[in-house]
Every structure is written in structure tokens, then in C-alpha cells.
Amino acid sequence: MDLDAITKYSALHAKPDGLVLQYGTAGFRTKAEHLDHVMFRMGLLAVLRSKQTKSTIGVMVTASHNPEEDNGVKLVDPLGEMLAPSWEEHATCLANAEEQDMPRVLMDISVKAAVNLQQDAFVVIGRDTRPSSEKLSQSVIDGVTVLEGQFHDYGLLTTPQLHYMVYCRNTSGQYGKATIEGYCQKLSKAFTELTKQAFCSGDEYRSLKVDCANGIGALKLREMEHYISQELSVQLLNDGTKGKLNHLCGADFVKSHQKPPQGMEMKPNERCCSFDGDADRIVYYYLDVDGHFHLIDGDKIATLISSFLKELLLEIGESLNIGVVQTAYANGSSTRYLEEVMKVPVYCTKTGVKHLHHKAQEFDIGVYFEANGHGTVLFSKAAEIRIKQLAKELEDKKRKAAKMLENVIDLFNQAAGDAISDMLVIEAILTLKGLTVQQWDALYMDLPNRQLKVKVADRQVISTTDAERQVVTPPGLQEAINDLVKKYKLSRAFVRPSGTEDIVRVYAEADSQENADSLAHAVSLAVFQLAGGVGEPPQPVSCPY
């Protein structure tokens, strides 16, 4: 390791004084102008991680659903999964090291993690469409090259596509070809095969409006479009040609404001969906004949998919164990429907895709979606082999069901939640089951809910337990929440600190929207008073519809 060269290059990517950042579930995120040193250092870290794992490592430059002026970076581990927790700590130490200490911290990480510095390293890099992303990804490349790592810069990619590329490269192409063409071919072939099984496929040409959040999803869905145009017509809106990334559009906006994005003209009962800024989340929605807006979030997506998979397993008579993993944000009605009607076991984990992904790996078939629309389905290697075997051995209807399961395996991006992949799965299932968007929505009625944010001086004053459903500190806050919840029917509420900024997130649900709003506001005030709120106290919620 040439420490002199590292010191020299590092001075060109100097760390601003006093800036402290934490590597969280989403990696590092902050204002783009504060990230140059972090990008350079994550290039260095990716080389060390690659040497240690003897594998290709990914670096994605994105801030997902954050405003356009923000940016961020996250590392992708060998099988397309999130960075290992011990390396998240290394990332935080390295990003926060003062300039003069940086080479020593780098050596410390090499020793602690037993990195063989003679080992070759290979890093792949992707970026979203933010104005700052190209320059910041060049800083990553500077970090990779100063440690003599090899790299491939994919340029513009969705976050899930980078996860896919890493997974492909580390499985010698068994998972797929590590190119955009390979990605499009794999997903479109499975989608075409699956939709061919529909009885009514010739009767109705399906079309879908897609809000691309003025982000990378628009470019990549355009590339996918000609592969799937026989089965599905997609109309792209907020495609980045004029609007700002994530501004009044995208999955996060639609989910949190419970209204359509700007620029989306909707006819009654027309199927519409929104991606987020880096296309790893998707939510669906429609207007009913009275003009009321209906959101179909990650909970209903998980319900549709897990019900379909359960039906196929019953058809082939195979007892593979299927489980749905949710967070505390999952609507109470979805949990009851899955457990009581579909008889599918449901498990709750802490918020954050790494917790859901980890739990989902415990099943033959693990379905996980956060309410925000981020999720996928994981098939164990044993389940995958068994299903592919059955698709060859069984006859007639059973063989058809096994073949459909095989297509579903290929259609899901098992490395990460992927809005494009999830969209194709949903469209295929709706076609196969002959379901309209209203019929899907009517599987169960969501309890009205509200999410709010409270600014605090220090988010670390709040600690939680029971998959973030109960507050441990500060004292008295959980008791206050319990007392407020008792005032409303079918109600629950919880609070949790943000992983990236000094805010506390509040969730409440109740028997009516008015009560959910009222409960959320009351809980927000309790947080403000007991957990060191800053600025103006929370104001009552004004309902957008």
C-alpha cells in the first residue's frame, strides 16, 4: 500500500472540518457538496473489501428518494447484498478520519479485517442521474485506482441493476449476464413466458402509466420497453426531461402525501405506479369513479405476490415453507389478512432492508416488502433446484404451475428490491389472475394511517425494542404513547429515530383518517416535548384529500 500516494491523492479530496457522517442502511447521504472526500475514501474501502472477499464489490452513487441537491454512496457486497455490518463501521471510521489520520485508519482496517494487500481487487461503479453524480463517481474511481484496484464504470444504472451486476460477476454468469442487455433479456424472457400462461392474454392489451420520479428509472425502463412491448405498454411520466428529481413526484412523495404525483393525469380505474429516484421502490395507485385516490403500497404488493406463490405451491402439492417479512410500518389490516385468510406466517423486523433481507433468507421462499414499496422475493438454493426439477417432471396443470414458479424465480431481482422487476411481476400476476386494480385493492381495507417527522436536537436520545414498536428511552415517552393510543379505536402508534438525520419518525393508524391524523399529531407533540424537539412544535395535520 503506497501511503505517500494515498496521502497526496487524499489532499485533492480533502475532508471538510468538523463534518461527521454515519454509514446507515442507505449508506452515506448528505448534501452533494460535502461528499467528495467520502467518495474517494469509499473507493479505497471497496478495494480493501474486494481483496478481503476475493470478489467483485459494487459502489453505487445515489441518494435514492432524497432531493436532487443531496447525494450519497453505498457499497454492495459479493452476492448483491448490503455491506456487512462490521464493514459499515469501517466505512464510518474511514469517512470521519481527519486528513492526517486517514492512511493510518486505512492500515488499521486492513489489519483488523485481515486483508491480503497482494490480492487483486475489482470494483464496479454505478450512478444515478443527479447533476453531482458523475463528478462524485470519478472521486470513487480515484480512490480505487490509487490502491491499484481494477474497475468497470457502468455509468448510469438503477441501484438494483448495480446489485444485479455484482451478483452476476460473482457467480461466474450463472445468475445472468453482467450487462444491461443481460438484465433486460433475463427479466423480459421470464415476463413473456409467464404472461403467455394467461387465459385472456389475447383479449386485452395491457397498459400502465409509470411516474419515474424524474430519475434513472425513466432511462432504464425505456431500455426495457422494446423487450416487453408485445405484452405491456408503458407510458412514462416525470421522465426527467423537465422536472426535478423526486420533486412532487416519485414513490416516496405518493406514499407519504397519499396523492398522485405532479404531471399524472388519471382516468377513473386506470392503473398507475411510481418509482423512486433510483428505482428500488414502487407503489401503485388509481382514482375510483368518484375521484377518490387509492394507494396500493408495499403491504398490498407483498399480499398479492405471496398469495399467488401460495396458490402455485398448493397446485403442485409442494410443501416449501413461505414467509412474509414486514416492519412496524406494515398496515395492521395486511398482517391480519395474510395470517388469518391466506394462512401465510408473518414476521416483523426492524426497519431497513438489510433486516428484512436477512430474515427472508430463513425461508424456502421469503417475501419481503416495506410499506414504502421496497422489496423482493428470495428463493433458497434448495427451493430453486426443487422447483426447476418439478417443472421438468410433473405433468399437465401441475407442470404448468411449476413452470410459472420457475419464471417467477427468474423475474425477481433476488439481489435487491427492484422497481422494474417488481412491476413486471405485479403486471404478470394481475394478468394471470384476471384482476383489475380495484379488485387487487379490495383484498382488504387498509386502516387509515399517517406518518409525520419531528425535528430533534439529537436522534440518539430515542432507543427502541420489539422491532422498533416500543420506545425504551427517553423515559415516559412509551407510556405517553400508550395513553394516547387508548383514546382511539383499532389504533396503534410507534416512533423511531431516522437512520440518517436528526428527526424522529412517527407512525399512527386508527379507525378513521381523522383519528389517525389526530393520534399522529398528539404523538408528535409527545416526542417534541420528551425527546428534545427543535424549532416550532408540530402543527395539526391538514388532510390532502
Catalytic residues: 64
Whether residue 371 is annotated as binding a ligand: the answer is yes
Spatial strand order of the sheet with 346-349 comes to: 346-349, 322-327, 365-369, 375-379
Strand partners, 56: 122
- Between CA 86 and CA 114 the distance in angstroms is 13
Query: Minimal CA–CA distance to 150: which of 118, 119, 178, 121?
Result: 121
C-alpha cell belonging to residue 181: 442487455
Cβ burial of 363 (10 Å; 0-12, 13-18, 19+) is: buried
CB within 8 A of 473, min separation 6: which ones? Answer: 461, 462, 463
Neighbours of 541 (CB within 10 A): 18
- Between CA 354 and CA 377 the distance in angstroms is 14
Whether residue 496 is annotated as binding a ligand: the answer is yes
Whether residue 211 is annotated as binding a ligand: the answer is no
Regarding beta strands 375-379 and 365-369, do their DSSP bridges make them parallel or antiparallel, or are they unpaired?
antiparallel
Q: What does the chain come to in residues?
A: 545
Whether residue 497 is annotated as binding a ligand: the answer is yes
Whether residue 153 is annotated as binding a ligand: the answer is no
Whether residue 280 is annotated as binding a ligand: the answer is yes
Whether residue 410 is annotated as binding a ligand: the answer is no
Strand partners, 150: 122
DSSP 537: P
Half-sphere exposure of 262 (CA within 13 A, CB side): 12
Helix (H, G, I), strand (E, B) or coil at 361: coil
Whether residue 278 is annotated as binding a ligand: the answer is yes
Whether residue 505 is annotated as binding a ligand: the answer is yes
- Between CA 143 and CA 460 the distance in angstroms is 32
Cα dist from 266 to 40, 261, 424, 448, whole Å:
44, 10, 21, 23
Listing DSSP states for 263-303 in one string gives T----BT--EEEE-TTS--EEEEEE-TT--EEEE-HHHHHH
Whether residue 499 is annotated as binding a ligand: the answer is yes
- Between CA 389 and CA 181 the distance in angstroms is 28
Whether residue 49 is annotated as binding a ligand: the answer is no
Cα dist from 355 to 161, 335, 351, 468, whole Å:
21, 18, 7, 12
Cα dist from 256 to 259, 333, 371, 372, whole Å:
8, 18, 10, 9
DSSP 82: B
C-alpha cell belonging to residue 511: 379507525
Where is the binding site for substrate, in residues?
A: 370-372, 496-500, 505
Which residue numbers belong to the known binding site?
64, 276, 278, 280, 370-372, 496-500, 505
